[in-house]
Amino acid sequence: MNFFMVDAPLSVHISPEEYKVFYAMDRELYAVLINDLWRDPVESMRIMALWLWLERSGFNGIVKKILSFPSVLINELADEALISLKYLDKNKINDAETTPVTVRVPAEDNFPLTQNFVDSKISARFFHKNRLLAIPGISKMISNVCVKALTDIMDQAMERNLLQYMSLMRVSPPVLPMAAATAGFEFDPPGREIGLHPDERTMFVTFSKGYPVNEMEIRDFFAKFFGDRIESLFMQEVLPGEQSLFARIVFYSPDSIPLILNGAEKVKFSINGKHVWMRKYVAKRQQQQKSLASPSSPPLLSSPNISQSLFARHFV
């Protein structure tokens, strides 16, 4: 089966408003990435281009499927998309060569959520095998679709980020005395660091579809191998008879996270013979701070220099 479709040349002029209507669902998902999740607008446009390229390559309905998920899951899927983009960026074609500069196959375990929730055929092997088609295909998707359909949303988000960033540079929030910050709390569990936001002590956990893991299994596993470290555990809410595919674990101390990761960004455990992936949780609040601290990001694939053109007007 040939996944890849050849775009027919367009002979009919399409207005900007018609683009917006035709790509309404894609615009909605892009808005979730940059407005609800506070992801970088330039980076998010390339994520959208990757997902749209996958749709054109035979994986139908990806955008609609992703848009139906809760925001915390969309955020994790976007992170997995970035792994694919960074891999492809490292394997771009040299101008003077016909083969990639480097050929590094990403680890198969890098896409557990994408394979569980979107399509099991989207794997490291798929991106490696089709990298020579994906690199120009995604760049073309940015130029021919994303720039035309999403630029107005990106422009608004960048202007918002810039204004908030400039505001933060001028005004610093007051620092409360420790007595005021902890007023109303009579005690803290052993090991919990006072004043530290729970997000800083949280890990995101994903499970394999078809291999359900329950809360008690997770607690027993951690108690056995890491001791009493879990403050609270939040499983994905599902209907009776359905499987939770992700969870959040809040630990008493942030020190538990590097202990579990052991220097890696993501680790895989086997709980009663079922694979479980864990990584540090990145909340919307942290995404916002990251987005404001870095208003634009370097391109992951060759494409028009969007960020400079959109930001130039604000500094003139």
Residues 58, 95: one domain?
Answer: yes
The overall pTM is greater than 0.75: no
Instruction: Specify the pLDDT at position 166.
Output: 66
In a domain, 203, yes or no: yes
**pLDDT band, very low/low/confident/very high, at 290 (cuts 50, 70, 90):** low
Query: With 80 as the cut, is the pLDDT of residue 131 above it?
Result: yes
CA dihedral 152, 156, 159, 163 (to 10 degrees): 170
Query: With 90 as the cut, is the pLDDT of residue 37 above it?
Result: no
The H-or-E segment that residue 281 falls in is none
**pLDDT band, very low/low/confident/very high, at 66 (cuts 50, 70, 90):** very high
**pLDDT band, very low/low/confident/very high, at 4 (cuts 50, 70, 90):** low
Residues 162, 201: one domain?
Answer: no
Mean pLDDT of 60-87: 90
Residues 76, 153: one domain?
Answer: yes
Residue whose entry in the numeric block shows the structure tokens 């490291």: 124
SS3 content of the chain, % helix, strand, coil (to 5): 50, 10, 40
Least confident of 26-30, 156-160, 164-168, 179-183: 179-183
101, 92 Cβ separation under 8 angstroms:
yes
253-285: pLDDT as tens digits = 999 999 998 888 888 888 988 888 899 988 765
Q: Within 10 A of 255 (CB to CB), how many other CB atoms are there?
A: 13
171, 309 Cβ separation under 8 angstroms:
no
In a domain, 10, yes or no: no
Q: Which residue has the higher pLDDT, 20 or 14?
A: 20
What whole-number percentage of the chain has pLDDT above 90? Answer: 28
What's the structural domain count of the chain? 2
In a domain, 311, yes or no: no
Domain residues for the domain of 98 are 16-168
